[in-house]
Amino acid sequence: MTEPTKQPPRIDTSVAHSARVWNYWLGGKDWFDADRAAGDAYREKYPQIEPFAQESRGFLIRTVSWLTREAGVRQFLDVGAGLPTANNTHEVAQRIAPESRVVYVDHDPLVLLHVHAMGQSTSEGAMDYVLADMRDTDAVLEGAARTLDLAEPVALVINDVLGHIVEWPDALGLVRRLVDRLPSGSWLSLSHSTASDEEHRLVQEEYNNSGAIPYIFREPEVTRAFFDGLELVEPGFVCWPDWRPDATTGRLTERAGWGGVARIP
């Protein structure tokens, strides 16, 4: 695994950080009082935010499980990974196939400071971390190539992070550049948040205006374009709880985000 830099950036614990707030909602441990206060304030106005976050994580768990077990994927590139909680990509994949190799990518040095919380890879597999802006395709793939064989199929995982890219053409272009650089037979697993209702949208707009890193909700009619030219597997591009639900899946919110898994031809 990549070691932290010798002089890591200082963490301002007095200001809420969106990645740490999300970590708090998911039951993680890498947050501070300011993050808890921001998370509690959001939840007070929109109580469904924690179930919403859980549905996003449930989609990740089920898609990585399917890719490992059913599609036979053994290489994963998780872009915009954020802070670790439970059931991270390498943990899900390596429980099924211990030889799986997983690379996480995030631009935030804060994530690197907390990467120890992800736990260790299995001895048969590998897990690494690339500090890079996900929009920098060369940096992402050059870093990933230290651990992954990019001549062989890879599952590109982009779970509920593209809303942080405010301009739609930029978000769409990022995905297409990465997809175009992966070999035939690779996979894209992608999700994007949609406002559950108008109240949710207004609370998020207030959060965005607070100075925190913004997240832009987009409708599924728009985000479906991420999969143009790819071969979506059943059940297609659907609401998170509707993607191959299992015994643990429940519809916790009235309208969650959407996602899908597709093969790259």
Give the pLDDT of residue 174.
Answer: 96
What are the tens digits of pLDDT across the range 191-215? 999 987 888 889 888 888 876 778 8
Q: Higher model confidence: residue 214 or residue 183?
A: 183
- Name beta bridge partners: 146: none
Which CATH entry fits the domain spanning 54-196+219-264: 3.40.50.720, 3.40.50.300, 3.40.50.150, 3.40.50.620? 3.40.50.150
Higher pLDDT, 212 or 186: 186
Query: Longest C-alpha distance within the chain, in Å?
Result: 48
pLDDT of residue 218: 95
Calpha distance 219→209 (Å, rounded): 21
Q: What DSSP state is assigned to residue 135? A: T
Q: Could you tell me the residue ranges of all domains in the chain?
A: 54-196+219-264
Cα–Cα nearest to 15, from 260, 247, 211 = 211
What is residue 124's predicted lDDT score, i.e. its pLDDT? 95
More confident residue, 184 or 11: 184
Task: HSE, CB side, 13 Å, CA atoms: give it for residue 131.
Answer: 15
Is 113's pLDDT higher than 80?
A: no
Place of tokens 């947050």: 31
Higher local confidence (pLDDT), 234 or 21: 234
Of 32 and 193, more confident: 193
Encoding tokens for residue 117? 């919380």
Q: What is the pLDDT of residues 67-100, one digit of tens each?
A: 999 999 999 999 988 776 778 899 999 999 999 9
* pLDDT at res. 167: 95
Tokens of 251: 């519809």
pTM (predicted TM-score): 0.88
**What is the spatial distance between Cα 64 and Cα 70, in angstroms, rounded to a whole number?**
10
